[in-house]
Structure 1
Amino acid sequence: MTFEEIVTHLKQGNYAQVYFLTGEEPWYADYITDYIAKNALKEDEKPFNQTILYGRDVDAVDLVHSARRYPMMAPKQVIIVKEAQNIKKFDPLESYLNAPAPTTILVINYRDKFDKRKKVWKALNKKEFVKLETKKLYDNQVGPWISKYLKSIGLAIEPKANQMLVDHLGNKLTNVVKALDKLKVAVGTDVKTITPKHIEDYIGISKDFNMFELQNAIVKGEVVKANQIARVFGQNPKEYPIQMTIGVLFSFFSKLLLYIATKDKSQQNIASKLGIPPFFVKDYQMASRRFNWNKSRHVVSLLREYDMKSKGFNNNSATPGDLLQELVFKIMH
């Protein structure tokens, strides 16, 4: 069952006996856990029938005992285990999964990959149970995810604003959602589309000095602007880590090589091949006029070299700011 299917069932009031939520991206598990904690029971039922445990404080035997209790003056009880990855032995849970209490909703929030070789994982294969395994989003999936989430809360977003968020927030959905929810509150009910100005005002990302603008300046050959942005980045290394900047540029120029090598350069095909929104295909069209195959390969090589230097290899004294300005100069000349 997918995350969306699970949420649909929950909103319809259809609760499973057991939820086992695991994987690399904890936001999905946290969303489901919080929804159940808020909605599965009435407020007056919760004091005696909703128990929140933490993996570091409980073992599987205690958990089974709690799950087998009867609810008090309510049709169901809810047992939630947060940070369940800290439970040392899960084997005793197998007996419970083979004969679960029909009056218990058990939620196990395991913030890591679970060992699928364990018998517990196999015991979860019942229609009465829900298990969800999540993966971190790839970088090219974050932008569409942001658009989809904002649409779900009644907002659209301009492509440049979206890219600013992707470059700044990365692929940890907990951070992304916090920023998007903050935007929703900050812009008020009259605003329907998020712009770069909103990002600058409420998230604190400059619409003029960000990774998207640095990449854009390099592609357009705007030497003065690119050097200016690189200098600002160098003066604020915590806000603009050089490894993150190099990562963004590496991703762009790697895709540019793929663009150049692709024969069918229709917008739809390139968007599919590169894993980008169609709006950004024009950026690669423009970049290919300035950076041919050999120049793009050289840039990728430079990015690898300076990534190593930023980590201390063959670099005894240069600061991250010095390295970035030097890198930008070499890319553009």
Structure 2
Amino acid sequence: MVLDVWKQIRKQQFSSIYVLYGNEAFLINETKQLLTKYVLDDEAADFNLSTYDLEETPVEVAIEDAETFPFMGEKRLVFLHNPGFLTAEKTKDKIEHNVKKLEEYLKEPAPYSILVFVAPYEKLDERKKLTKELKKLATVVEAKKLNEYELKSWIRERAAHAGVEIDDDAVEHMLTLAGTNLFMLTTEIDKLALYCGDEKRIHKQAVDELVARSLEQNIFSLVDKVVHRKIDEALRIYYDLLKQNEEPIKILSIIAGQFRLIYQVKELSRRGYGQQQMAGYLKVHPFRVKLAAGQGKLFKDEELAHIMKNLADADYQMKTGGLKKEMLIELFLFRLHINY
């Protein structure tokens, strides 16, 4: 797990070789930053940090660098980006790489160098001999979407890194409001850490007052208000979105997406799928599945089917100019409130 690797790096327990792969760019960037911070001091970084793009440079050039003694420091850190020879995905790599040279290096890596492969691919090609060797000899970090437990652990760790603690209900509320994007969550945690000052603790109220809502999370809140029959609060959110110059057609599209997710989660749950399975099948974060499952309990199947039809009708009228776009969403919300 990536959080465990981060702990080892902070303790300066380094591997000679790392492979960072996956589609979660934040986790890859964070791991790179931690390695740079803890492997090299500021002066040594100018001389002993190297970065290669393997779509432009043969791997043997980077290996020669790794075999060179560090200058004015104890360690050399070498990043190798885009190692297309580790994946079955199509890449831009048109360079001829001396993979045998790399295989030889893996058997006896330089004790003073740390080699880091940065592979922004969903999967590594497990059939390749080189991949198998790396999985045996290297620390392999999969940068994938964190599950709910990992995400909450990451938020607490990020808060601790900023010098504060965060209450459990504040963690939950932050995910509900800001979503699961790690870049956005980092910004919000850092902002809250500054706000809480000497108390050194982030409470739920502070999250509610300060955390910026994404458009998707505003829509989720809007749907949640309707689900709980709070039409006045739902309309207030909708009017605020219009004041922020959000397009009605975009708002309608996200509302439809949320109700579609509720319908799908309800159906998959009936078929015996777990939340993690649903998340993988629907390609959404497990936390969104959890929230949609809670909302789905408040609707019968025929109600959700009717809502989806109303949304499709509103979308058609919006695109054909039947009524004012802003009014169509208002009418949808009123009907939803009256009928359900």
TM-score, length basis structure 1:
0.72
Tell me if the contact between 1:83 and 1:109 (Cα under 8 Å) persists in the aligned partners: yes
Per-residue deviation, residues 10-55 of structure 1 (Å, max 9, x unmatched): 2332211111101011222212111110111334433322223455
Tell me if the contact between 2:59 and 2:98 (Cα under 8 Å) persists in the aligned partners: yes
Q: What is the aligned counterpart of 1:98 among 95, 104, 125?
A: 104
Q: Which runs of 5+ in 2 are unaligned?
A: 85-91, 280-285
**Structure 2 residue aligned with 1:294:** 302
Tell me if the contact between 1:49 and 1:72 (Cα under 8 Å) persists in the aligned partners: yes
Per-residue deviation, residues 59-99 of structure 1 (Å, max 9, x unmatched): 42322222222223443211124566765448434522432
The yes-or-no answer on 1:131 pairing with 2:144 is no
Within 5 Å, give how 1:126-165 maps onto structure 2: 126-127=136-137, 129-137=138-146, 141=147, 144-152=149-157, 153=160, 154-157=164-167, 159=169, 162-163=172-173, 165=174
Counterpart code for 2:165: L
User: Residues 16 and 178 of structure 1: is their aligned pair in 2 closer, same or farther, counting only changes over 3 Å?
Assistant: same
CA distance in 2, matches of 1:271, 1:70: 47
Shift of 1:321: 4.2
CA distance in 1, matches of 2:307, 2:209: 30
Shift of 1:228: 3.1
**Structure 2 residue aligned with 1:60:** 59
**Structure 1 residue aligned with 2:237:** 229
Tell me if the contact between 1:155 and 1:194 (Cα under 8 Å) persists in the aligned partners: no
**Structure 1 residue aligned with 2:48:** 49
Per-residue deviation, residues 108-139 of structure 1 (Å, max 9, x unmatched): 22233355155442331233x112223234xx
User: Residues 49 and 273 of structure 1: is their aligned pair in 2 closer, same or farther, counting only changes over 3 Å?
Assistant: closer
**Structure 1 residue aligned with 2:283:** none
Counterpart code for 1:232: D
Give aligned pairs, total: 309
Q: Which runs of 5+ in 1 are unaligned?
A: 264-268
CA distance in 1, matches of 2:26, 2:40: 22
SS at match of 2:118: strand
Counterpart code for 1:126: K
CA distance in 2, matches of 1:172, 1:44: 34
CA distance in 2, matches of 1:161, 1:11: 24
User: Residues 15 and 169 of structure 1: is their aligned pair in 2 closer, same or farther, counting only changes over 3 Å?
Assistant: same
Per-residue deviation, residues 156-188 of structure 1 (Å, max 9, x unmatched): 34648744x445544332232232223222332
User: Residues 109 and 239 of structure 1: is their aligned pair in 2 closer, same or farther, counting only changes over 3 Å?
Assistant: farther
Within 5 Å, give how 1:14-33 maps onto structure 2: 14-33=13-32
Shift of 1:300: 4.4
Q: What is the aligned counterpart of 1:180 among 180, 189, 192?
A: 189
Tell me if the contact between 2:48 and 2:70 (Cα under 8 Å) persists in the aligned partners: yes
Counterpart code for 2:98: P
**Structure 1 residue aligned with 2:131:** 121
CA distance in 1, matches of 2:310, 2:171: 28
CA distance in 1, matches of 2:99, 2:172: 44
Q: What is the aligned counterpart of 1:215 among 196, 218, 223?
A: 223
SS at match of 1:69: coil
User: Residues 64 and 233 of structure 1: is their aligned pair in 2 closer, same or farther, counting only changes over 3 Å?
Assistant: same
The 10-residue stretch of structure 1 (58-67 or 319-328) with the greater mean CA deviation from structure 2: 319-328
**Structure 2 residue aligned with 1:110:** 119
CA distance in 1, matches of 2:129, 2:48: 29
**Structure 2 residue aligned with 1:266:** none
Tell me if the contact between 1:257 and 1:296 (Cα under 8 Å) persists in the aligned partners: no
Q: What is the aligned counterpart of 2:329 among 298, 313, 324?
A: 324
- The alignment-based identity, stated in percent, is 17
User: Residues 200 and 58 of structure 1: is their aligned pair in 2 closer, same or farther, counting only changes over 3 Å?
Assistant: farther
Per-residue deviation, residues 204-246 of structure 1 (Å, max 9, x unmatched): 349xx93354233212222333233223324435499524443
SS at match of 1:75: coil
Per-residue deviation, residues 249-272 of structure 1 (Å, max 9, x unmatched): 43345445677x599xxxxx9999
CA distance in 1, matches of 2:75, 2:10: 17
CA distance in 2, matches of 1:237, 1:258: 36
Tell me if the contact between 1:56 and 1:83 (Cα under 8 Å) persists in the aligned partners: yes
